[in-house]
């Protein structure tokens, strides 16, 4: 949709702008992993829109957050969350979601969503707004609340495809800490507390010395 279509601020900030394309949604088959994921997203997103229409913002936020987790790239979710928080008077959180929305909109126009980009364009009934006009409208709106868009931090959500890798990395880090630091420390403490019969362990270099020795035969420290 051309930029001039959103010169009207009221239309731009309307919840109704993100009603899904019924024909596109109806054509989504039920089989296949991508299709199932998309159908889960659509169900949560439609529930959120219905909750917004019925004046149930907390339910809408819950469903939108679920939709955001399922399909992080869809910028409309962030926009609607921003609108809900704005209507509730939480302008700081609203600004962060507006910033996330703008970043995703910019990525979409830059072609960074090679797989999900066509889906986003197909599912958005009102068309895709131009980034610079959207940025200008949001920047002007936030300025009324005394918020500078340039210093706002977006709400970050790791892409779903990275979550397994992040979990593996976290597990690997925990294993490395146990293997290279905690376990050697435990072994050393056990060795010092329970040396071989007839020996004592130097606390400085871990050398085993006969009981008759008064200082370590390796480092020269006295027995403690």
Per-residue pLDDT at 7: 56
Question: pLDDT confidence of 49, banded at 50, 70, 90?
Answer: very high
Q: What is the pLDDT of residues 176-206, one digit of tens each?
A: 556 556 667 777 777 778 888 888 888 888 8
Q: What is the mean pLDDT of the chain?
A: 84
C-beta pairs of 131-137 under 8 Å, 24+ apart in sequence? 131/102, 131/105, 131/106, 132/3, 133/3, 133/6, 133/7, 134/6, 134/12, 134/101, 134/102, 134/105, 135/102, 137/6, 137/9, 137/12, 137/13
Per-residue pLDDT at 127: 86
Average pLDDT estimate for 44-66: 97
Per-residue pLDDT at 1: 41
Contact 125, 113 (CB under 8 A): no
- For residue 87, CA distances in Å to 45, 55, 91, 156, 207 come to 19, 11, 8, 22, 70
Q: Which residues contact 28 (CB under 8 A, 6 or more apart)?
A: 35, 38, 39, 42
Angle between the 91-109 and 75-87 helix axes, to the nearest 10 degrees? 160
Task: Cite the beta strand spans of the chain per DSSP E.
Answer: 199-201, 208-210
What are the residue ranges of CATH 1.25.40 in the chain? 3-157
Give the DSSP per-residue string, 55-73: T-HHHHHHHHHHHHHH-TT
Question: pLDDT confidence of 38, banded at 50, 70, 90?
Answer: confident
Q: Which residues contact 1 (CB under 8 A, 6 or more apart)?
A: 126, 127, 128, 129
| Predicted structure pTM score | 0.69
Per-residue pLDDT at 190: 79
Q: What is the pLDDT of residues 76-112, one digit of tens each?
A: 999 999 999 999 999 999 999 999 999 999 999 999 9
Residue length of the chain: 224
Please say whether the structural domain 3-157 has been given the CATH code 1.10.260: no
Question: pLDDT confidence of 3, banded at 50, 70, 90?
Answer: very low
């Amino acid at each position: 949709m051309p930029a001039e279509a959103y010169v009207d601020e009221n239309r731009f900030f309307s919840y109704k702008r993100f009603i899904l394309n019924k024909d596109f949604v109806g054509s989504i088959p039920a089989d296949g992993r991508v299709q199932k994921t998309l159908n889960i997203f659509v169900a949560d997103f439609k529930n959120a829109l219905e909750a917004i229409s019925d004046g149930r913002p907390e339910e809408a936020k819950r469903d939108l957050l679920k939709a955001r987790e399922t399909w992080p790239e869809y910028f409309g979710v962030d926009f609607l969350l921003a609108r809900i928080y704005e209507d509730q008077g939480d302008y700081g959180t609203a600004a962060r979601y507006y910033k996330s929305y703008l970043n995703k909109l910019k990525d979409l126009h830059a072609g960074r969503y090679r797989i999900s980009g066509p889906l986003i364009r197909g599912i958005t009934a009102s068309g895709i707004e131009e980034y610079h006009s959207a940025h200008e409208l949001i920047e002007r709106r936030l300025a009324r609340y005394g918020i500078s868009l340039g210093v706002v931090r977006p709400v970050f959500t790791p892409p779903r495809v990275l979550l397994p890798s992040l979990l593996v990395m976290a597990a690997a880090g925990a294993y490395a800490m146990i293997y290279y630091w905690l376990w050697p420390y435990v072994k050393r403490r056990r060795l010092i507390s329970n040396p071989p019969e007839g020996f004592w362990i130097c606390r400085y270099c871990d050398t085993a010395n006969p009981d008759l020795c008064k200082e370590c035969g390796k480092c020269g420290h006295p027995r403690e």
